[in-house]
Structure 1
Amino acid sequence: MSLELDRRLADVGTRFRIFPQPRFLMKADGSGPLFAEPELVIVSIEPAAMRPGPGDDRMFVVDAIGKLPYNNFFRPPFRGTKRDPIQPDSEGHFDHLDPATREFSAATMYATVRRVLDIWEDYFGRTIHWHFESDFDRLELIPLIEWNNAQSGYGFLEFGFGRSPNGTIDHTRPYCENFDVLAHELGHSIIFAEVGAPASRQDEGIDYGGMHESAGDLVAIVSSLHFHSVVDHLLESTRGNLLTINGLDRVGELSDSREIRVAFNAMRMSDVGDEPHERSLPLTGAIFDTMVEVFQHDLVAKKLITDDLRIRSTNLPGTAQDLDEIQAEFTAAYTGSEDAFKESLLRARDYLGRLLAVTWSAISADFLTYHGILRAILQADREITGGENAQIIRECFAWREIAPVPTSMLLRPHTLASCGFQANDSGSAAASPRDRLLPDPRPNGSATTSAHL
């Protein structure tokens, strides 16, 4: 599993440096950048197999010159003018690039997408084949076009820059350096590859759209938790108290990252409509709550916190718990046990990654419902743990009001009459006229008929 991923790659992969969160994010007190320096990451491609660009057999960077955004009439591959591909150092690595240069930005885009793909192929336990493989063998990565937007499409990712307050291009905020945005967009590609898209025009795909946005967020969240600095900052800020209102508020203030904010939300199905980003919130919340509950159950098993504290800390908004007291107890438990808390969170992270991979491998895009996703998650947990976390999953989804819709066939009772039986005068079940026409299979031809459901 992914706890072993970095150890496996340390001596064989290619080195890059990337920022775990955008470099413009500031600490809460304004004293400086939240993540001031890029961190070393190692991707699964050996230096000898790397191609200038950077690129490999699955993806490649094209630093296009004067390119307009792709649209319905202008699609990959890009055939225009482009800058020279970025070269590795003498040992085949790319961690020598200066963060102030364009080359660093382009290499960051490759390293982020490759790193996220490595993480999720590790969880799936196999190669994730591109959904566009019938037309292209590699994903085209275009890092820096003059555009105040970014997009993913069939066979490509192309990124511009953030917007200034007046809507113009802000060159200090290249989207290609935003780990969450890149990971989210790759999450969409993973869903297209593994789940597909609805085939019927009569399928409105309301829950499918919400699932897609939720999946993008969850891919980004789980992937970002592979940065030790992000995990350390999360635990230092909350002391492991992730589910009370106090914990939610602290996490929500960590950064401007949409993914960090949407993971910790209190939205239920009755709070949202059909717009995919809004509808994704209860599903993302239920799944992330599951990870946090697994994390806290592990803390109890290790006797790092009491079961009483776990129960009180998972009480939902609107309860009468003393939140300051809960936080004080978490702080006392966390102090001196920081490494043990981190180990439990990383194990919960990897459980969630594997749970999602098994779930996404099993569900169909056609007429998808959140309740169907819940059943697939329960089945995935049975495969991974033997059903150890089933009650946690049920409770997290029930609070989010994820259940069959009132008109679902699953909720309809099936009586004897609806199954084709009729009650006779004696109160016993008699066969329907259709059944009485069936021949008696017994040799003596008794008057008793057989019933067929």
Structure 2
Amino acid sequence: MSVALDRRLAETGTRFRIFPQPRFLTKADGSPLFPEPETVTVAPSPGAVERGPADDRMFVVDAIGKLPYNQFFRPPYSGAARDAVEPGPDGHFDHLDPASREFSAATMYATVRRVLDIWEDYFGRTIQWHFESDFARLELIPLIEWNNAQSGYGFLEFGFGRTPTGTIDHSRPFCENFDVLSHELGHSLIFAEVGIPASPADEGIDYGGMHESAGDLVAIVASLHFHSVVDMLLENTKGNLLTINGLDRVGELSDSRQIRIAFNALRMSDVNDEPHDRSMPLTGAIFDTMVEFFQQDLVNKKLITDDLRNRSTNLPGTAHDLDQIQTDFAAAYAGNEAAFKESLLLARDYLGRLLATTWSDISPDFLTYHGILRAILDADRTLTGGANAAIIRSCFAWREIAPVPASMLMRQHTLTSCGLDTAASAAAGPADGFSAMIPTPRSSYQNLRR
């Protein structure tokens, strides 16, 4: 969501309060990382968000005694449910007590609605649900007695985290975990915008990795819409984002455990075909692209030197004195905090538009990471005239995202194999020189298949 639109919605939308990260996360001194919820505004105006909360795109139902959906038990839910959460007299929902069940239910709606608003802005249009042929709205079920969570056809339903013994930990409701909710909604966005492979012969190996990567990237970009997250990130790193930081810890489950890390050193030769594992080089390459864009903007504005940018890159073989790099960033950041934040928000919005443009154009059929790379380069041409092509190529190259050696794209073609070797053709005795230059359709097909 652009900075300008975010400001406009703050004046016209409906207010909620949500925690940017799970409230159980703590700092080194044991104090809460985010002690208070942050006010966010969703696009529907006060009054358009009804009791539930609910609007024309989604609704919350706080089910009583519900079992998780499965292949035999699917939406819509028609069982017993608690009373719908009511808005305040002014039509907003920012009056709810964070210790209440109503707050948890409202948080689930606000998170999903907010993330949808963000990405619809980047796409520049309404994202139609992939289940629209059966359901008009997304069903949100916030607090079932289950130590898991899931997204499915027409629904999101969330339970709670697990204790060390595997039982339900009621102090950790997944419906309040912004990153996890954003990630799961990301899957729905990909189903809606990219679709699914059509051929039974398509194993969808890179498609599965792309799906998990997209979920993480949807969460990363959305989390950067919290001013508290951006401020804390910059204060902790001084703009040196190619270090382990809060942004790259996607979907926190505890202080020491996370689902995935966007900043990673994994290449394609380091991962297998399991979708979560395979997603990491792609996520890393795209995350690095955003950071390199951010740092290039700092260079352009003379906030850091080109030398510092080069020393802080995430490319292999470029190890430098990390302490000195951090010292240099701290010196550059001091007194320029607002300018650094402006550059980071610019990079955030660039990445959001780059991904939306890419996801709008790729086909799910026989999808490859190399095909995604080419789509990203094409998206950058659309957005910037190709200004960031070198950054994108370098970030993807060392991740080993390239055509596989057996790809037809890597085949070499000689004059002889193409039937264009005039000496060889003359020996065959064609009727005239022009026909000798044109291979027959059958010989062309045979040469292509070799």
Do the aligned partners of 1:290 and 1:393 also contact (CA within 8 Å) in 2?
yes
Q: 1:41-190 to 2 correspondence within 5 Å?
A: 41-190=40-189
Q: Deviation digits for residues 256-309 of structure 1, max 9, x if unmatched?
A: 367795111111111111110010000000001000000000001111100011
Identity of aligned residues (%): 76
Take 1:273 and 1:249, find their aligned partners in 2: how far apart are those partners? 26
Do the aligned partners of 1:180 and 1:224 also contact (CA within 8 Å) in 2?
yes
Inter-CA distance 377–92: structure 2 relative to 1 (3 Å threshold): same
Q: Please state how far the C-alpha of 1:253 moved relative to its aligned partner.
A: 7.6
Across the two proteins, how many residue pairs are aligned to each other?
436
Q: Deviation digits for residues 138-185 of structure 1, max 9, x if unmatched?
A: 000000000000000000000000000000000000000000000000
Gapped regions of structure 1 (runs ≥ 5): 438-445
Q: Please state how far the C-alpha of 1:417 moved relative to its aligned partner.
A: 3.1
Take 2:149 and 2:286, find their aligned partners in 1: how far apart are those partners? 27
Greater shift after overlay, 166-175 or 416-425?
416-425
Take 2:368 and 2:154, find their aligned partners in 1: how far apart are those partners? 28
- For the residue of structure 1 that corresponds to 2:295, the secondary structure is helix
Take 1:202 and 1:6, find their aligned partners in 2: how far apart are those partners? 44
Take 1:259 and 1:395, find their aligned partners in 2: how far apart are those partners? 27
Gapped regions of structure 2 (runs ≥ 5): 440-450
The answer for the alignment partner of 1:26 in structure 2 is: 26
The answer for the alignment partner of 1:8 in structure 2 is: 8
Q: Please state how far the C-alpha of 1:421 moved relative to its aligned partner.
A: 3.7
Do the aligned partners of 1:251 and 1:260 also contact (CA within 8 Å) in 2?
no
The answer for the alignment partner of 1:248 in structure 2 is: 244
Take 1:203 and 1:335, find their aligned partners in 2: how far apart are those partners? 53
TM-score between both structures, scaled by the size of structure 2: 0.93
Extract structure 1 runs of 4+ deviating beyond 4 A.
Answer: 249-255, 257-261, 429-433
The answer for the alignment partner of 1:280 in structure 2 is: 279
Do the aligned partners of 2:420 and 2:438 also contact (CA within 8 Å) in 1?
no
The answer for the alignment partner of 1:264 in structure 2 is: 263
Do the aligned partners of 2:12 and 2:43 also contact (CA within 8 Å) in 1?
yes
Inter-CA distance 261–318: structure 2 relative to 1 (3 Å threshold): farther
Take 1:55 and 1:403, find their aligned partners in 2: how far apart are those partners? 45
Take 2:237 and 2:434, find their aligned partners in 1: how far apart are those partners? 71
Take 2:426 and 2:80, find their aligned partners in 1: how far apart are those partners? 80
The answer for the alignment partner of 1:223 in structure 2 is: 222
Q: Please state how far the C-alpha of 1:319 moved relative to its aligned partner.
A: 3.8
- For the residue of structure 1 that corresponds to 2:169, the secondary structure is strand
Take 1:411 and 1:422, find their aligned partners in 2: how far apart are those partners? 21
Q: Deviation digits for residues 31-74 of structure 1, max 9, x if unmatched?
A: x1100100000000111212210000000001101000000000
The answer for the alignment partner of 1:443 in structure 2 is: none
Q: Please state how far the C-alpha of 1:451 moved relative to its aligned partner.
A: 3.8
Please tell me the residue identity of whatever aligns with 2:22: P
Take 2:185 and 2:376, find their aligned partners in 1: how far apart are those partners? 21
Q: Please state how far the C-alpha of 1:119 moved relative to its aligned partner.
A: 0.1
Q: Please state how far the C-alpha of 1:116 moved relative to its aligned partner.
A: 0.0
The answer for the alignment partner of 2:442 in structure 1 is: none
Greater shift after overlay, 409-418 or 168-177?
409-418
The answer for the alignment partner of 2:435 in structure 1 is: 449
Inter-CA distance 424–73: structure 2 relative to 1 (3 Å threshold): same
TM-score between both structures, scaled by the size of structure 1: 0.92
Inter-CA distance 420–178: structure 2 relative to 1 (3 Å threshold): same
Do the aligned partners of 1:161 and 1:174 also contact (CA within 8 Å) in 2?
yes
Take 1:26 and 1:126, find their aligned partners in 2: how far apart are those partners? 38
Take 1:60 and 1:52, find their aligned partners in 2: how far apart are those partners? 9
- For the residue of structure 2 that corresponds to 1:4, the secondary structure is helix
Inter-CA distance 337–66: structure 2 relative to 1 (3 Å threshold): same
Over the aligned positions, Cα root-mean-square deviation in angstroms equals: 2.0
Take 1:399 and 1:311, find their aligned partners in 2: how far apart are those partners? 16
Inter-CA distance 255–223: structure 2 relative to 1 (3 Å threshold): closer
